[in-house]
Structure 1
Amino acid sequence: MLDRTPLHIEVATPDATTVALALSGDLDYDSAEQLAGLIFADGYRRLDVDLSALSFIDSSGLAALVRLHQQAEGANAVVHVVALTPYLRTLLRLTALDRLFSLPPG
């Protein structure tokens, strides 16, 4: 059996138009619905996502990030990935998701 780290999602609202998410643990088939099920208050215009503490992500996790982007787009908000690991940066580039998300320089 593989060791699994439960997904933890920390949500903060630094101001009235920004929602900040910090994800840690495994974002995979078993946990992707946690992310997809998030509901944000009306009026946010920016969604900052910190992926630097993710220990694992699979295709279901990537799909959940795409759905998060679509949800934000539907609310006229922009998603910014504010932190990520070098591995995740490479993965997002390989899957062309770096074109969808605003990534930090690096």
Structure 2
Amino acid sequence: MEVSPRPPGRQVSCPLRGRTPDRQTRGREEHPVTASTVFDPPGLHVRLRQAGDDLVLDVAGDLVQGTGPMLHAAVTGALTTHPSPRELLMDLSELRFCDSGGLNALVRAHRHAREAGTELHLLNPTTPVAFLLHLTGMAQVLRVSPNPAVTSRAAEDGACQ
């Protein structure tokens, strides 16, 4: 079987590799990649609310390197908009995911609050976030109050020993 060459001067691009096909890629089916499925940054939602005398930041979504600045801005806003609270509560019960960049954002929030004379208190971390805090030793550095339901489930599973 003879393969006919491509017409001269015609280049066929390979969008996933940004180059023309070679012997290894020729004939393979190309899979389209859309920006909305691959490159959308995860979402983070932060809401500041007053609960009695306490200020509470409700944090939901994914706390990753790209969303860390949003958390920092929310903490800064909470510390500067209101009279400096003695304690700032951060409810993490809706935080689905936290990576090393998100952990860095939590540590920075802790330092920023401390510099303002405020204690940062993390409340109700989800199981993945509590695991990350425990694994990295940050549960001993940051003030964390776990959700009792999550804590009892983890103890039953033997995860927190």
Tell me the TM-score normalized by structure 2.
0.59
- Aligned position for 1:53: 94
Structure with the larger RCO, 1 or 2 (CA within 8 Å, 6+ apart): 1
Contact preservation (8 Å) 2:68, 2:102: yes
Structure 1 position 6 matched with structure 2 position 43: yes
What secondary structure sits across from 2:123 in the alignment?
strand
Contact preservation (8 Å) 1:5, 1:55: no
Paired with 2:99 and 2:39, the residues of 1 have a C-alpha distance of: 14
Structure 1 position 67 matched with structure 2 position 108: yes
Q: Where does the alignment leave 5 or more consecutive residues of structure 1 unmatched?
A: none
More displaced stretch, 64-73 vs 76-85: 76-85
Contact preservation (8 Å) 1:45, 1:75: no
Which letter does structure 2 place at the counterpart of 1:62? L
Structure 1 residue runs of 4+, over 3 Å off? Answer: 2-5
- Aligned position for 1:84: 125
Bigger fraction of residues in strand: 1
- Aligned position for 2:55: 19
- Aligned position for 1:94: 135
Contact preservation (8 Å) 1:79, 1:102: yes
Q: Deviations over 1:44-64 (max 9, x none)?
A: 111111112112211111111
User: How far apart are 1:13 and its partner, in Å?
Assistant: 2.1
User: How far apart are 1:25 and its partner, in Å?
Assistant: 0.8
Aligned length in residues: 105
Cα RMSD (Å): 1.8
Q: Where does the alignment leave 5 or more consecutive residues of structure 2 unmatched?
A: 1-37, 152-161
More displaced stretch, 74-83 vs 37-46: 37-46
User: How far apart are 1:87 and its partner, in Å?
Assistant: 2.0
Contact preservation (8 Å) 1:4, 1:26: no
Percentage of pairs with the same residue:
31
Tell me the TM-score normalized by structure 1.
0.86
More displaced stretch, 19-28 vs 79-88: 79-88
**Which one has the largest radius of gyration?**
2
Paired with 1:36 and 1:23, the residues of 2 have a C-alpha distance of: 12
